[in-house]
């Protein structure tokens, strides 16, 4: 089943979010990053990606590598992130065409 992707850019909360969603299973993974502020104006965890699974499990950092080949996004997680999010070390998302375009446009912004 293909995953959809969504984008949230909320200046009021100071966060950008790339959401991967499998509607059929109600499975979501949010890749969040706070806006970058002036040097010294952020806590260290604010300058890393925050992963949120199904609106509950949260981990800061946790993505070792990512690869986008064709319409398939592969994330390799750290052992701690995988355990916290209750996901395997390697997670594969087959994206629909709209999701693929959005992931291509926004993924590096969130993960790097």
pLDDT, one tens digit per residue, over 62-86 is 999 999 999 999 999 999 999 999 9
pLDDT, average across residues 11-40: 83
Q: What are the backbone angles phi and psi of residue 106, rounded to the nearest 5°?
A: -115, -15
* 3-state SS assignment for residue 39: coil
Q: How far is CA 5 from the centre of its chain?
A: 10
CB contact set of 74 (below 8 Å; sequence gap of 6+)? 66, 67, 68, 90, 91, 92, 93
Strand partners, 15: 10, 34
Q: If you search the block for the tokens 């800061």, which residue do you land on?
A: 60
Task: Give this prediction's pTM.
Answer: 0.84
The Cα–Cα gap between 108 and 98 comes to: 17
- Lowest mean pLDDT of 2-6, 16-20, 37-41, 65-69, name the range: 37-41
Residues 82 and 74 sit within 8 Å (Cβ to Cβ): no
Q: Is pLDDT of 39 > 80?
A: no
Nearest residue to 59 (alpha-carbon basis) of 27, 32, 40, 22: 32
């Amino acid at each position: 089943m293909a995953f959809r992707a969504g984008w949230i850019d909320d200046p009021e909360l100071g966060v950008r979010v790339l959401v991967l969603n499998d509607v059929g299973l109600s499975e979501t993974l949010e890749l969040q990053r706070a806006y970058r502020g002036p040097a010294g104006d952020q806590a260290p965890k604010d300058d890393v990606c925050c992963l949120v699974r199904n609106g509950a499990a949260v981990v800061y950092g946790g993505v070792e590598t990512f690869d986008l080949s064709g319409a398939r996004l592969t994330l390799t997680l750290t052992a701690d992130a995988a355990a916290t999010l209750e996901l395997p070390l390697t997670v594969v998302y087959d994206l629909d065409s709209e999701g693929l375009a959005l992931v291509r446009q926004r993924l590096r912004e969130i993960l790097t």
